[in-house]
């Protein structure tokens, strides 16, 4: 990795992880949602460092644009009692921390000892090749996913629709 | 530490921050947000593997697009369930929603 890429990676990684920690630690749901947007933007930067510009653009469009707005709308529609928002840091958070840390240590140990010695960067192909892959070789999964998305959106409308008063 | 391992370490850290959020927070919307964080971690690892794979043909990115669409579907369904639950019970704390307890 060249020096400049290394510096950008470290900056973006710290920004992403800091925002992700803020998501978990903020008391207010709306602050958590805003730091979630920051984390998504950091991940988009990571994609650009990995030569995946199409994925970065889709990340900004779908996560930053659509999913964050969806989450913020859901927070607005479910305005909660003040007691509910700060349901945080009881025993539960501290009981949850040790298993997660143990699992993280195991994963890091496996990563550090695994034989991923691919130092040469085989760059991700340009966007035209991704499009060709998506629409030639993987047409059927692509269409299947669009069908799943359609069904999910219809189900979401059905679930969230207000019941007719009899 | 090779560059690939750096990206994988970032993905692992993000994944476990999300996992901690799921276990620690009790609000349904908060849990959905943490699931999105974990999916992002998976996407980072897929794109990194795609970038450093010996054949270098970008198939990891195709997986990522599929995950994008399914994450959007999951968020839509999850938030609709949260709104319906709020309308029904006026609360979203997952440990208070125990109507199906026998």
Task: Give the residue on B whose Cα is nearest the Cα of A109.
Answer: B9
Beta partners for B27?
B93
Say what the pLDDT of residue A121 is: 65
For an interface test with A, which of B3, B28, B35 has the most A Cβ atoms less than 10 Å from its Cβ? Answer: B3
pLDDT tens readout for residues B48-86: 888 887 776 778 889 999 999 999 999 999 999 888 888
Higher per-residue pLDDT: A18 or B53: A18
Closest CB from A50, A66, A70 relative to B47:
A50
Distance from CA of B98 to the nearest CA of A (A): 16
Closest CA to B65 of B88, B39, B84: B39
The Cα–Cα gap between A95 and B23 comes to: 9
A104–B16 C-beta distance less than 8 A: yes
Closest CB from A117, A121, A142 relative to B51:
A121
Closest CA to A87 of B19, B16, B60, B25: B25
Q: pTM above the 0.90 mark? A: no
The Cα–Cα gap between B65 and B58 comes to: 12
- Binning pLDDT at 50, 70 and 90, where does residue A82 land? very low
CATH number of B3-89: 1.10.287.3510
For A118, residues 6+ apart whose C-beta sits below 8 A from its C-beta are B2, B4, B52, B53, B54
Task: State the SS3 of B16-67.
Answer: HHHHHHHHHCCEHHHHHHHHHHHHHHHHHHHHHHHHHCCCCCCHHHHHHHHH
Distance from CA of B92 to the nearest CA of A (A): 8
Distance from CA of A20 to the nearest CA of B (A): 7
pLDDT tens readout for residues A90-114: 667 778 888 888 988 888 888 777 7
The Cα–Cα gap between B75 and B33 comes to: 8
* Chain CA centroid to CA B13, Å: 13
Buried-state track B78-87, b at ≥16 Cβ within 10 A, e below 16: bbbbbbbbbe
Closest CB from A55, A73, A88 relative to B64:
A55
Say what the pLDDT of residue A88 is: 56
Closest CB from B26, B37, B72 relative to A149:
B72
Tokens at B28, concatenated: 């349904």
B26–A17 C-beta distance less than 8 A: no
Here the ipTM equals: 0.91
B15, pLDDT greater than 80: yes
Closest CA to A88 of B83, B30, B65: B30
Closest CA to A40 of A57, A63, A66: A63
Tokens at A153, concatenated: 């959106």
pLDDT tens readout for residues A119-165: 666 677 777 888 888 888 899 999 999 999 999 999 999 988 877 66
Higher per-residue pLDDT: A85 or A11: A11
B47–A55 C-beta distance less than 8 A: yes
Say what the pLDDT of residue A140 is: 93
The Cα–Cα gap between A142 and B65 comes to: 9
* Mean pLDDT calculated for residue range A54-68: 92
For A93, residues 6+ apart whose C-beta sits below 8 A from its C-beta are B20, B23, B24, B25
**CATH class name, domain A1-80+88-112:** mainly alpha
A87–B77 C-beta distance less than 8 A: no
pLDDT tens readout for residues A30-39: 899 999 999 9
The domain locations on chain B are 3-89
Number of A to B CB contacts under 8 A, please give it.
244
Closest CA to B49 of B12, B4, B9: B4
């Amino acid at each position: 990795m060249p020096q400049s890429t290394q510096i950008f990676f470290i900056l973006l990684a710290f920004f992403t992880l800091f925002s992700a920690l803020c998501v978990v630690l903020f008391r207010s749901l709306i602050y958590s949602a805003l730091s979630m947007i920051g984390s998504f933007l950091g991940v988009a930067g990571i994609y650009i460092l990995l030569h995946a510009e199409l994925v970065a653009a889709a990340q900004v469009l779908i996560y930053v644009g659509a999913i964050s707005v969806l989450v913020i709308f859901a927070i607005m529609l479910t305005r909660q009692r003040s007691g509910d928002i700060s349901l945080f840091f009881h025993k539960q958070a501290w009981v949850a921390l040790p298993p997660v840390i143990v699992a993280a240590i195991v994963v890091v140990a496996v990563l550090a000892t695994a034989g991923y010695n691919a130092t040469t960067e085989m760059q991700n192909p340009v966007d035209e090749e991704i499009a060709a892959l998506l629409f030639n070789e993987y047409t059927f999964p692509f269409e299947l996913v669009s069908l799943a998305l359609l069904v999910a959106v219809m189900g979401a409308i059905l679930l969230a629709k207000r019941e007719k008063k009899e | 530490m090779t560059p690939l391992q750096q990206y994988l370490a970032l993905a692992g850290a993000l994944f476990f921050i999300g996992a901690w959020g799921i276990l620690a927070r009790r609000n349904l919307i908060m849990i959905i947000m943490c699931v999105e964080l974990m999916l992002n971690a998976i996407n980072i690892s897929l794109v990194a593997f795609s970038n450093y794979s010996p054949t270098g043909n970008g198939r990891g990115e195709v997986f990522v697009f599929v995950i994008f669409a399914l994450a959007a579907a999951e968020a839509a369904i999850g938030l609709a369930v949260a709104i319906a639950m709020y309308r029904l019970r006026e609360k979203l704390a997952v440990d208070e929603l125990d109507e199906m307890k026998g």
